[in-house]
């Protein structure tokens, strides 16, 4: 069995730092774009695994559009990890000096998904998944 990883990053406007750093560490294919308009054919991947990006979406309409795209390109299933459900103050690891407010979600924002244990810190995060037919 062969497993292929394709990393899809959305870099900060005007910088390719995330792309360059990721590529230098893993030396694999990196695509840069938007979650609501994925540049892949229908059923391109067995599984879509999304970790830690929903808090950075502009609103819940965008979240719904992204979920639709994840469903379109996934053949077997989708896993969405580290979805923020509660806000917290700025952590010491953050180097950004600006505001750190995040878009919060709950399970109602992920119709047809099943809840799963968070990868860490259940006080602030949850995970979910769904099987695609």
Tell me: pLDDT of 91 over 60.
Answer: yes
Same domain, 6 and 65: no
Q: Is residue 95 part of a domain?
A: no
Same domain, 7 and 42: no
Q: Is residue 15 part of a domain?
A: yes
End-to-end CA distance of the chain: 21
Tell me: pLDDT of 48 over 50.
Answer: yes
Tell me: pLDDT of 39 over 70.
Answer: yes
Reported pTM: 0.79
Instruction: Note down the domain range covering 19.
Output: 1-33
Same domain, 46 and 70: yes
* Burial letters 80-99, b for 16+ CB under 10 A, else e: bbbbbbeeeeeeeeeeeeee
Q: Is residue 70 part of a domain?
A: yes
The residues with which 126 forms a beta bridge, in sequence order, are: 83
Q: Could you give the 3-state DSSP secondary structure of residue 67?
A: helix
Q: Could you give the 3-state DSSP secondary structure of residue 84?
A: strand
Position 18 confidence tier, pLDDT thresholds 50, 70, 90: low
Tell me: pLDDT of 19 over 60.
Answer: yes
């Amino acid at each position: 069995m062969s497993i292929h990883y394709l990393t899809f990053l959305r870099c900060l406007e005007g910088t390719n730092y995330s792309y360059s750093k990721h590529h230098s560490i893993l030396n694999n294919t990196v695509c840069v774009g938007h979650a609501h308009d994925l540049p892949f054919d229908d059923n391109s991947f067995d599984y879509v695994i999304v970790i830690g990006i929903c808090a950075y979406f502009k609103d819940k309409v965008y979240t719904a559009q992204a979920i639709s795209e994840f469903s379109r390109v996934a053949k077997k299933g989708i896993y969405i990890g580290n979805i923020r459900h509660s806000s917290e103050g700025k952590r010491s690891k953050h180097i950004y000096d600006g505001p750190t407010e995040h878009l919060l979600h709950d399970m109602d924002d992920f119709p047809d998904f099943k809840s799963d244990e968070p990868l860490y810190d259940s006080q602030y995060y949850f995970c979910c998944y769904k099987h695609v037919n």
